[in-house]
Structure 1
Amino acid sequence: MIINYQAPGICPVCGKRLHIVKLSCDQCQTVLEGRFSSCKFCQLPPEQQEFIEVFVKCRGNIKDVEKELRISYPTVRNRLDGVIESLGYQIDKSAAADEKIRRQEILAALERGEITPDEAARQLKTVK
């Protein structure tokens, strides 16, 4: 029986990125040795990988991510920002950008029929 462990992306000793140096095929026993990079997502900590999985499953709908993970909108945004930064990208952390995104999400939910016009108006008033 072959047990497949998830390869860590970060060295537990020095904290630097690990590289894969050996690959093998269970079927034909071919072995490749060298210096291979793993994907960016594989190098994320397990909790960020789990968040990305839920985010994709929910098709990026933050409201659905909130429900599935039972966390608030700001927590979803913070976790998403953390993943974006971990992948090496910069994010606009200005309050204005967050407000604009939240307004767009409220209007999109209204358009999809997920909330009533009254609920959309109430939510839009609370966006600061």
Structure 2
Amino acid sequence: MDAMKPVSGSCPYCGGGMRTSAMSCPSCNVEIRGRFRESLFLQLSDSEQQFLESFLLADFSIKELANRTGMGYQAIRTRLDKLIETYQGLRNSEDQKKRILDRVAQGEISATEGARLIRGLDHGRS
């Protein structure tokens, strides 16, 4: 069995956002390619994902996380607030993309204009 590598939401070459374009079944080797909806959590940085995992394993308790890591309450609270802000930004971006696609589907704007607007959202995040 191949060693599993961790998934990162960032391109190792340019830092842009990575997208899932293929999936495979290890049991029968079937592969599918296409565009897949991804969890917003995968778009968090590696350090944000690790912090979120640590917080989860500490039963979502700042006090318990402080005991496990030696970090102070305020440092944890600051990181948690930043993580929440980042996640909300990702959600807002996804909502904006859906609204743009709806406008294209309704003929309010062209597909070219919609693509330009979506690229602008993606570049604003990078």
| TM-score computed with the length of structure 1 as normaliser | 0.62
Structure 2, unpaired ranges of 5+: 91-126
Change (3 A) 1:68 1:75: same
- Amino-acid identity (%): 31
Question: What is the aligned partner in structure 1 of residue 114 from structure 2?
Answer: none
Q: Which has the larger radius of gyration?
A: 1
1:89, distance to aligned residue in structure 2 (A): 4.5
Residue type matched to 1:26 in 2? Answer: P
Matched residue count: 90
Extract unaligned runs of 5+ from structure 1.
91-128
Greater share of residues in helix: 2
Instruction: Please tell me the root mean square deviation across aligned C-alpha atoms, in Å.
Output: 1.9
Q: Corresponding residue for 1:7?
A: 7
2:26 counterpart of 1:53 = no
Say which is worse superposed, 64-73 or 12-21, in terms of deviation: 12-21
Q: TM-score, normalised by structure 2?
A: 0.63
The C-alpha deviation readout for 1:95-114, integer Å capped at 9, x for no partner, is: xxxxxxxxxxxxxxxxxxxx
Q: Which has the higher contact order (CA 8 A, sep 6+)?
A: 2
